[in-house]
Structure 1
Amino acid sequence: MTVYALRPQPDAPVPETAMVMAAGLGKRMRPLTATRPKPLVEVAGKTLLDHTFDHLREAGVKRAVVNVHYLADQIEAHLKARAKGIDVLISDERAQLLETGGGVVKAREMIGDKPFFCVNSDNLWIDGPVDALRQLAAAWDDEKMDALLLLVPLARANCHGGQGDFRLDPFGRIIERRKPGRLAPFVYIGIQILSPRVIRDWPEGPFSTNLFWDRAMAQGRLWGVVHQGMWFDVGTPVAIGEAETVLAEM
Structure 2
Amino acid sequence: MKAMILAAGLGTRLRPLTLDRPKPLVDVHGRPLIEYNLLLLRRYGIVDVIINLHHQGDALRAALGSGDTLGVRIVYSPEDPLLDTGGAIKNAASLLGDDDFLVLNGDTIIDLPLDALLAAHRARRAAATLVLRHDPEQQRYGLVEIDGEERIRRFLGRPAEVETALVPYMFAGVHVLSSRVLDYMPDPGTTFSITRATYPAMLAADEGLYGFPFAGFWRVIDTAADLARANAILEERPPLHFL
* Shared fold (TM-score, shorter chain, > 0.5): yes
The amino acid that maps onto 1:136 is L
Contact 2:66 2:75 in 1 (8 A): no
Question: Which range moved further: 101-110 or 227-236?
Answer: 227-236
Unaligned runs of 5+ in 2: 238-243
Partner residue in 2 for 1:90: 76
Report the CA distance between 1:220 and its aligned residue: 4.3
Contact 2:141 2:171 in 1 (8 A): no
Contact 2:5 2:104 in 1 (8 A): yes
Deviation by residue 1:91-137 (Cα, 9 ceiling, x = unmatched): 111x321111111111101100000001111111124xxx2x21210
- Structure-1 separation of matches of 2:78 and 2:47: 20
Partner residue in 1 for 2:51: 66
Q: Pick one of 177, 187, 190 that aligns with 1:203.
A: 187
Contact 1:163 1:182 in 2 (8 A): no
1:235 aligns with 2:222: yes
- Structure-2 separation of matches of 1:187 and 1:167: 9
Contact 1:173 1:220 in 2 (8 A): no
- Structure-2 separation of matches of 1:106 and 1:162: 27
Q: Pick one of 207, 211, 236 that aligns with 1:224.
A: 211
The amino acid that maps onto 1:214 is P
Off by >6 Å, runs of 4+ in structure 1: none
Go from structure 1 to structure 2 and tell me whether the alpha carbon gap of 1:46 and 1:221 turns closer, same or farther (over 3 Å shift).
same
Report the CA distance between 1:180 and its aligned residue: 2.4
Q: TM-score, normalised on structure 1?
A: 0.84
1:173 aligns with 2:151: yes
Go from structure 1 to structure 2 and tell me whether the alpha carbon gap of 1:44 and 1:81 turns closer, same or farther (over 3 Å shift).
farther
Unaligned runs of 5+ in 1: 1-15
Q: TM-score, normalised on structure 2?
A: 0.86
Partner residue in 2 for 1:147: 128
Between Structure 1 and Structure 2, how many residues are aligned?
Answer: 227
- Structure-1 separation of matches of 2:134 and 2:90: 29
The amino acid that maps onto 1:212 is T
Q: CA RMSD in A?
A: 2.0
- Structure-1 separation of matches of 2:35 and 2:153: 34
- Structure-1 separation of matches of 2:123 and 2:203: 15
Secondary structure of 1:141's counterpart equals: helix
Contact 1:154 1:185 in 2 (8 A): no
- Structure-2 separation of matches of 1:231 and 1:30: 22
Partner residue in 1 for 2:177: 194
Q: Pick one of 105, 111, 135 that aligns with 2:90.
A: 105
Partner residue in 2 for 1:33: 18
